[in-house]
Structure 1
Amino acid sequence: MIAPLPKILTIAEFLKQSYIEESPAWEYADGVVTQKPMPKTRHAILQKRLLAAIDRHSETYTALPELRCTFAGRSVVPDVAVIAWDRIQVNEAGEPEDNFLEAPDWSIEILSPDRKASRVIDNLLHCIKHGCQLGWMIDPDDYSVLIFAPQQEPKVCRGNHQLQILEGITLELTAEQVFEWLKIAKR
C-alpha cells in the first residue's frame, strides 16, 4: 500500500491554520509545512546570548527571538531575526504591527541535532535572495558558523576567525567566542 502524499497548502491556507503559532513554531516553504524542533539547552543559551549581545551593540537594529517572517511565498521563523528599527511597521497607537512581511536584515539559525542542515540553508538562502543582508547557521556540534551574504560564496568560520556582522552593529565576535558562551562553570 502506498502512503498518501501530504496535502500541499498555499501560503494563504497555511497562515490561517490555528496550530502555526504553537511552540515550537511551524514554517512554510514550497507548499510544505514543517515544525521546528523544540530547542534544547545549548540552543537556548546561544540564542539568549546572541539576542543580548546584538541588542547591547546597536541602536539601529533590534534582535528578536522566533519572529515569524512571511515574504516571497514563504513563512520562516529564524531563531534570531535582526531587523532595523525603522523597518518595523507601527499602528496608529505607535505599537509594532504583529505580522512582519519582509525578510529580516540578518537571519540567525542555530542548528539542532533534529533538524536537517539543508532545510536551514534553504531558508537562509531564501532570505538572502529576498533582501536579507546576512545569514548565519550556527552548528554547536561542529563549533562552526556558516555565513551567507548577498553576492558572496558561503563561508565556514571556526576558531578565532572574525565573524561578519551587519554594518551599524558594533559587535565583534569570533566563532570561538560564540561557543565559549556554552562553557558553564559549576557554582
Structure 2
Amino acid sequence: MRQSIQQIPLAEFLTQPNIESSPAWELIDGRAVQKPMPTLFHSRLQRNLVNYINDRTEQFEAVQELRCIVPPFSPVPDIVIISCECLPDEDGPFNGAPDWLIEIRSPDQSTLDLQNKILHCLGNGTQLAWLIDLTRQQIWVWQGDDLPIICSGADILPDNNTNLQLSVNDVMAMTGRK
C-alpha cells in the first residue's frame, strides 16, 4: 500500500492486509500514510519512556505503537497511555482515543500532520498529548481544550496526574542507553 491520494473509508482501510507491517500504516483525514521508520534515539526514547511511565503508575498502562480506532481516523501514536480499567481483555486495536498520547517527531515528519492527529484525538476524548521534538529539544503539550504550551529545559511536564515529575531535560536524556 502506498500513501493514498484518494479518500479511503475507515472500514475499508482496516481490512487492508499490510497496515500492521513495520512501520505501521495510519488513516489520517481519509489518507493511508505509513509512519516513518524510527531512528535509534527515537526507539530508545520510546522504550525508556514507556518503561518509566509503567514503573511509576498502576492507574495507567503505557503501550508503544498501539493502533487506535478514532473514527474516521486510525492513528498509531508512538506511545499511548490508557487507564487500566479501559483496556480491553481481548487482543486487537484500541477502540477510542487514548487518555494520553505521545508522538516523537521524526526529522522527515510534518509537525502539522502530527498536530492534526493530536487535535483529532483531543477532540474525541484524549486529555493530554505530548509532541516531542528531539531536534529542537522541546515538547509541545496539549491539555483538554487549552492551546498548546511549548516546554523546554527544566520545565516540568504535565502528566495526567501520574506524578511523574519529568522535565524536558529528563525526557531528552532518555534517548541514551539504559
**The TM-score by the shorter chain falls in which range?**
over 0.9
Aligned partner of 1:93 in structure 2 is none
State the distance in 2 between where 1:155 and 1:100 align.
27
Q: Paired residue for 1:174, among 153, 167, 171?
A: 167
State the distance in 1 between where 2:53 and 2:6 align.
39
* Unaligned runs of at least 5 residues, structure 1: 91-95
Q: Are the structure 2 counterparts of residues 20 and 184 from structure 1 closer, same or farther at C-alpha, using a change threshold of 3 Å?
A: closer
Tell me if structure 2 keeps the 8 A contact 1:64–1:81.
yes
Aligned partner of 1:26 in structure 2 is 25
1:158 equivalent to 2:152? Answer yes
Q: How many percent identity over aligned positions?
A: 35
Aligned partner of 2:133 in structure 1 is 139
Tell me if structure 2 keeps the 8 A contact 1:88–1:97.
no
Tell me if structure 2 keeps the 8 A contact 1:72–1:130.
no
State the distance in 1 between where 2:54 and 2:31 align.
33
Number of residue-to-residue matches in the alignment? 175
Q: Are the structure 2 counterparts of residues 150 and 183 from structure 1 closer, same or farther at C-alpha, using a change threshold of 3 Å?
A: same
State the distance in 2 between where 1:182 and 1:54 align.
15
Kindly provide the amino acid, as one letter, of the partner of residue 123 in structure 1.
K
SS of alignment partner, residue 62 of structure 2: strand
1:173 offset after TM fit, Å?
Answer: 0.4
1:183 offset after TM fit, Å?
Answer: 4.4
* Unaligned runs of at least 5 residues, structure 2: none
State the distance in 1 between where 2:80 and 2:176 align.
24
State the distance in 1 between where 2:115 and 2:143 align.
12
Runs of 4+ in 1 over 3 A off after TM superposition: none
Task: Give 1 or 2 for the bigger CA radius of gyration.
Answer: 1
Q: Are the structure 2 counterparts of residues 55 and 23 from structure 1 closer, same or farther at C-alpha, using a change threshold of 3 Å?
A: same
CA RMSD of aligned residues (A): 1.5
1:119 equivalent to 2:113? Answer yes
1:34 offset after TM fit, Å?
Answer: 0.5
State the distance in 2 between where 1:181 and 1:6 align.
36
TM-score, with length taken from structure 2: 0.94
TM-score, with length taken from structure 1: 0.89
